[in-house]
Structure 1
Amino acid sequence: MKYYLLLICTLCSFSLHANELVNGYIVMANQDTIQTSIKIAGRAPITNSQILVTVDDARGEQLFQAADKQVLGYGFKLNQVSYSFRFFDIQRSFGSAFFRLIENGDNFLLYENKVKGIDRTAEVPNSHYVLMKSSGETINFTTALFSNWKKVVKEFVWDNPEALKALSDLKRNEVPAFVRFLNNM
């Protein structure tokens, strides 16, 4: 019995450190699309909003920093869910990062990056969004408690009275639903 328990514990510890690779693609700055494996878990370094780690037979393990601006985007499928990320260079204090596409409509796309912020006295996760019109025009905003995100969005959809009305009662955790509303108008 002790032997089996020891074997199970050993196998579990190996699986915690195993690298999880998923089939995916990256879009390079020169617009080339490369099929590769993306490292999403395991020993560091792993893929996150600042770093993309790929592994393939031809090039081995490669690490791309968002700030280097070599990769425009990447994507993969995991458990029947598609994940698509795009590089945005947000000036000001945020810098460069990969943002996840969370709303994909004909009129608007919404990308999100989770950031840590201070809300009164506690550190809390906030969403940093990039909202893109079908024309390619973008805005970015963080839904922190004391940010002016509604003003920024209002200036972006100024020509849509229904959107302006819906925005007035919008809570900061309802931004994805608001973008779905915009796409269904």
Structure 2
Amino acid sequence: RPLRLAAPAVGAASRSFHASRAAFVKVGDKLPNLEVLCEDSPGNKVNLAEEFNNVKRGLIIGVPAAFSGACSQKHIPSYMNHPRTKEIQMDGGKVVVVSVNDAFVMKAWHDQLDPVKDSGIRFLGDPTGDFTRALDLGFDGSAIFGGMRGKRYALVVEDGKVASAHVEPDNTGT
């Protein structure tokens, strides 16, 4: 099922069985068809729906913030060093890291974690948070990060659709 990119209309015409808001991205969902992510600079726009459309298997790793302690020391290095990451790439798959940060911050973080770029993992900024919101994976990180951020997650993607979704429930990173 495609992801909803707009809020539902309010009023009598939009009544439905329940009033609870949509849940996080689910298995079977298509990736949001948005060209809002950036790689290395704001001019290098990336649309993951297009890039993952004909990819047998790929991985999208979401983090709350570039350069955060847990993500820099354990989380992302664990993917960079994991044999399954290389297996995905050797089969023609893609592995990307996404964070609600600008492209320059993500490039600097990538340069720090993978200076010779041998991991094959791409680091993408979501400067407006639109991609993260479309997945319904944002949270209010004002107290720590100064604004909206993305939950820590991993999405296994097959042929442009989510095959499995793993979302950290408490936004703490521990």
User: Higher relative contact order at CA 8 Å, sep ≥6: structure 1 or structure 2?
Assistant: 2
| Bigger strand share | 1
| TM-score with structure 1 setting the length | 0.26
Q: Which has the larger radius of gyration?
A: 1
